[in-house]
């Protein structure tokens, strides 16, 4: 008698602009992102207050299932002038059942900062480097 197995995966819906201060436990984390592309990072001035800027990160990732929540973490900056910034993207699956199908989704992160320039912005998922964007300067 043949045995039939159904495939399902756990997940939640994709959301951007998630700000979190807590740090992920990278050593225990497996990154589910299969592919990432179309990364764009820029700085703009969103307010008239002096020394207030906004870093905007946009990209596209491919996941093994369509229902994840995106969590972003600001990991660290170095002591260079201008500094490099390390951002962590952590897709988090929920306990909901869903079909397993490759899904490409846009991701976005916005960070208010007092810095008007970054040497580079490095985007990681766990230990996996997704992208390095160099020369991030203030746009007009």
Of 87, 88, 86, 89, nearest to 69 by C-alpha is 89
Please indicate, yes or no, if residue 22 is contained in any of the structural domains.
no
Residue 110 pLDDT: 96
Please indicate, yes or no, if residue 77 is contained in any of the structural domains.
yes
Please indicate, yes or no, if residue 128 is contained in any of the structural domains.
yes
Using a 10 angstrom Cβ sphere, with 0-12 exposed, 13-18 middle and 19 or more buried, the burial of residue 118 is buried
Residue 136 pLDDT: 95
Average pLDDT over residues 107-135: 95
Please indicate, yes or no, if residue 1 is contained in any of the structural domains.
no
pLDDT digits (tens, 9 = 90+) for 50-95: 889 999 999 999 999 888 889 999 998 888 889 999 999 999 887 8
**Distance (Å, whole) CA 43 – CA 140:** 9
Please indicate, yes or no, if residue 9 is contained in any of the structural domains.
no
Please indicate, yes or no, if residue 8 is contained in any of the structural domains.
no
CB 71 within 8 A of CB 124: no
Overall number of domains in the chain: 1
Please indicate, yes or no, if residue 90 is contained in any of the structural domains.
yes
pLDDT range class, residue 29, cuts 50, 70, 90 = low
User: Parallel, antiparallel, or unpaired for β 84-93 and 117-125?
Assistant: parallel
Print the domain residue range for 39.
27-137
Please indicate, yes or no, if residue 16 is contained in any of the structural domains.
no
Q: Say what the pTM is.
A: 0.75
**Distance (Å, whole) CA 120 – CA 129:** 13
Residue 97 pLDDT: 83
């Amino acid at each position: 008698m043949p045995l039939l197995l159904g495939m399902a995966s756990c997940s939640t819906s994709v959301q951007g602009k998630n700000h979190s201060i807590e740090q992920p436990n990278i050593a225990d984390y497996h990154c589910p992102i299969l592919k990432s592309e179309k990364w764009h990072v820029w700085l703009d001035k969103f307010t008239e207050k002096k020394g207030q800027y906004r870093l905007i990160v946009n990209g596209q990732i491919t996941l093994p299932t369509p229902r994840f929540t995106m969590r972003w973490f600001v990991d660290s900056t170095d002591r260079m002038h201008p500094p490099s910034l390390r951002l962590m993207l952590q897709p988090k699956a929920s306990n909901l059942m869903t079909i397993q199908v490759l899904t490409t989704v846009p991701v976005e992160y916005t960070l208010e900062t007092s810095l008007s320039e970054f040497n580079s912005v490095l985007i990681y998922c766990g230990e996996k480097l997704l992208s390095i964007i160099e020369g991030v300067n203030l746009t007009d």
